[in-house]
Amino acid sequence: MIHPTAIIDPGAEIDSNVEIGPFSIVHRNVSIGSGTFIGPHVTIDPYVEIAPNCQIFQYASIGAAPQAVKFKGEKTYLKIGRNTVIREFATLNRGTEFGGGVTEVGEDNFLMAYTHVAHDCKTGKGVIMANNATLAGHITIGDHVIIGGLVAIHQFVRIGEYAYIGGKSAVVKDIPPYVMAAGDRATLHGLNKVGLQRHGFSTNTLSQLKKAYRTIFRIGLTVNEAVDRVLAEVENIPEVLTLVNFIKSTERGITR
């Protein structure tokens, strides 16, 4: 059902099983999948793709032009994965040509009120951003990451899968997978043990990750020395290799 006060461009592709509330605006070159709910006073700008079964609450701004001084109006995109919830006053911007052209929000994300996803960001599956969490441009967030309220993340930072970032943190370097981080500037506070247990990680996996974490971050080795020791002394299960490869591929440096 589309409310009669909503303004829908004829060039928008909207499934018949979509609800759009009063005074919302949907521009051309927008596609909205079945089962999606759009609340009142939502603006969806051109070149936005919304997958099925999403919920977008009042006053959200979806697909506005990126806040980037080098952006010159080129055709870029925002893609939102299925089952994602976007709460009040959230702002999600399209990509930039120089940054790859696409901002991608993954499946099953929960973006709370006043969150911001800037140009060319990519979030994985099951990401939660609490109120006022902010992503600068070109950030990559892994699967099942939780970002606390009032967190600010610097551009080009990567957050590894299953990481937890505590509220009011300022993140300027990469956060490895499976860990907890908090503070200004953010530092590590051990494994995200509770989160990993909730996601069904085995006792052995937690044990090997704990050994790897201690070797890399707690005994004073350089990063290269620590990685070599982990590969030699810790069982090389997939999760440990994910942690090691993430650290080896950093460009901004690793939070410690």
User: 195 an active-site residue?
Assistant: no
CATH number at residue 203: 1.20.1180.10
Q: Whole-angstrom Cα distance, residue 120 to residue 99?
A: 6
Catalytic residue among 27, 81, 106, 119: 119
Q: Whole-angstrom Cα distance, residue 30 to residue 170?
A: 34
Same domain? For 12 and 122 the reply is: yes
Q: Which domain holds residue 225?
A: 197-248
The confidence score (pLDDT) of residue 245 equals 98
CATH number at residue 45: 2.160.10.10
211 near 190, Cβ under 8 Å? no
Same domain? For 19 and 135 the reply is: yes
Below-70 pLDDT ranges, the chain: none
- Pairing assessment for the beta strands 13-14 and 30-32 based on DSSP bridges: parallel
Catalytic residue among 33, 63, 99, 120: 120
The confidence score (pLDDT) of residue 184 equals 95
The confidence score (pLDDT) of residue 65 equals 98
Flag whether 154 is in a domain: no
Catalytic residue among 137, 148, 160, 195: 137
End-to-end CA distance of the chain: 51
Flag whether 127 is in a domain: yes
Tens of pLDDT along 148-177?
A: 999 999 999 999 999 999 999 999 999 999
Same domain? For 122 and 211 the reply is: no
User: 144 an active-site residue?
Assistant: no
Flag whether 51 is in a domain: yes
Same domain? For 137 and 15 the reply is: yes
Rounded alpha-carbon distances, angstroms, from residue 212 to 167, 198, 228, 245, 255: 26, 20, 11, 12, 15
With the CA atoms of 95, 96, 98 and 101 taken in that order, what torsion angle do they form, in degrees rounded to the nearest 10?
50
Rounded alpha-carbon distances, angstroms, from residue 224 to 10, 58, 190, 215, 221: 57, 49, 20, 11, 8
Amino acid, res. 191: L
The confidence score (pLDDT) of residue 61 equals 98
Q: What are 248's two structure tokens?
A: 């080896």
User: 137 an active-site residue?
Assistant: yes
Q: What are 110's two structure tokens?
A: 């929960």
